[in-house]
Amino acid sequence: MAHSKALLVLENFIGGKFVPCSSYIDSYNPSTGDVYCRVPDSGKEEVEAAVKSAKAAFPIWSSKSPLERSQILNKLADLIERDLEAFAQAESKDQGKTITFARTVDIPRAVYNFRFFASSILHHTTECTEMATMGCVHYTSRAPVGVAGLISPWNLPLYLLTWKIAPAIACGNTVVAKPSEMTSVTAWMMCKLLEKAGVPHGVVNIVFGTGTKAGEALVCHPDVPLISFTGSTLTAQRITEKSAPHCKRLSLELGGKNPAIIFDDADLMQCIPTTLRSSFANQGEICLCTSRIFVQRGIYSEFLKRFVAEAKKWKVGNPSDPTVDMGALISKEHLEKVRSYVKKAQAEGARVLCGEGVDSLALPTGNQKGYFMLPTVIAKVKDESCCMQEEIFGPVTCVVAFDTEEEVIERANSVKYGLAATVWSSNVGRVHRVAQRLQAGLVWTNCWLVRDLNLPFGGMKASGIGREGAKDSYEFFTEVKTITIKH
């Protein structure tokens, strides 16, 4: 294949040095469909070297005080922030997301992940109890665990990678991280800043490659006691099986099939623009995106008419154009998968009201071969349809009517996932009641994606195991010990 200009070639980062790899994978620019980058196709050997380096760095890093580690995390945050524009451009090009989203969401959040854990690590306290009658005092102490294996996905590359690296190293662990092979560029760029931030060699190692080769080698490594994974439920099942003989501690943040429940007293002026965002932000490629919209019958037709009219206004095109609302999907295969769900819905008798197969998409000349798709709204779809049961992970949302509170709770809970939900109503009693009964780790009422990193993040059922957040991540990335002293 002839390349008009030199490709970007990434290298693994092991023991504070960039190390070339013997074989590489092509990485595509989703907005053009061209190969633009070569990513190491790492395997057992590279993972072995990275784990060895992380293990060697552990004694020194774990013996630093929380304050020393905090200062280094803050320095790294400053350096990423200094290069925010370069990181945003790279993320947008590599992932297909709009430059606006990368600039306002992904990179600022990556910076904040380091600042947040740099601060929170200074404020944990341990427990102490007294048994006066026995003359005993009990207290707990927490210590870093060792080498953490971190596997992050392609939808929010630097955002979710740093959400794992920050707490892991703040707690005194060293890490071997494997970003998605489809979106590795910003992780590689971050490696260039580690030394300047004062991160000792070997504390952060990044091995690029596929899940089946590099990911599996990391999960199966006997010297990696912790695995934190964000990705698909299917991959998580494999991680669970492979790590079982080693008794590893797992944190799994998986898919969602998130409902929005819109009662007839909802403020549609706020609800419609927010539900458009919750359905189509980042091309619908966020585990927290809304893909099932339940609207109370009294306002169903009005909601649907207004929602579809607004969805049609969304501009899809070149991600580097600051006026576009939606960029390209991650890959050709993923685009085909998402499209196939729309075809299945049509075959089942559902109605596609806008988007895929209904409206035509005009793209700029350079983007004709990119992986683009219009925001797609489907109605007249049955609850048991695959479009209402399976995670599509694209710009597709289904809108259905409901009558009673009792009925909609049961329908909202009738999927295998339980990550997030949104509830729209101006009745305070109702929002509390419904929130309590929804099987979801996160429930937003009259808003979406408002996050406080202090609080637990994660899902129920097939949406994962464990939680992430100030306290939860601290507990995951440390080993607790109870000590009893008789005096």
Sign of CA dihedral 229, 232, 237, 241: negative
- The residues assigned a catalytic role are 253
CA 87 – CA 349 distance, rounded (Å): 44
Residues 6+ apart with CB under 8 A from 120: 170, 453, 454, 470, 474
Q: Which helix (H) or strand (E) holds 218?
A: helix 216-219
Buried b (16+ CB within 10 A) or exposed e, 398-423: bbbbbeebeebbebbbebebbbbbbb
- Angle, nearest 10°, between helix axes 84-95 and 185-197? 160
Residues 6+ apart with CB under 8 A from 18: 11, 12, 191
In three-state secondary structure terms, 195 is helix
C-alpha distances (whole Å) from 152 to each of 2, 90, 231, 353 are 31, 17, 7, 34
CA 85 – CA 87 distance, rounded (Å): 5
Instruction: Identify the bridge partners of residue 485 per DSSP, sorted by sequence position.
Output: 137
Count of C-beta atoms within a 10 Å radius of residue 296: 21
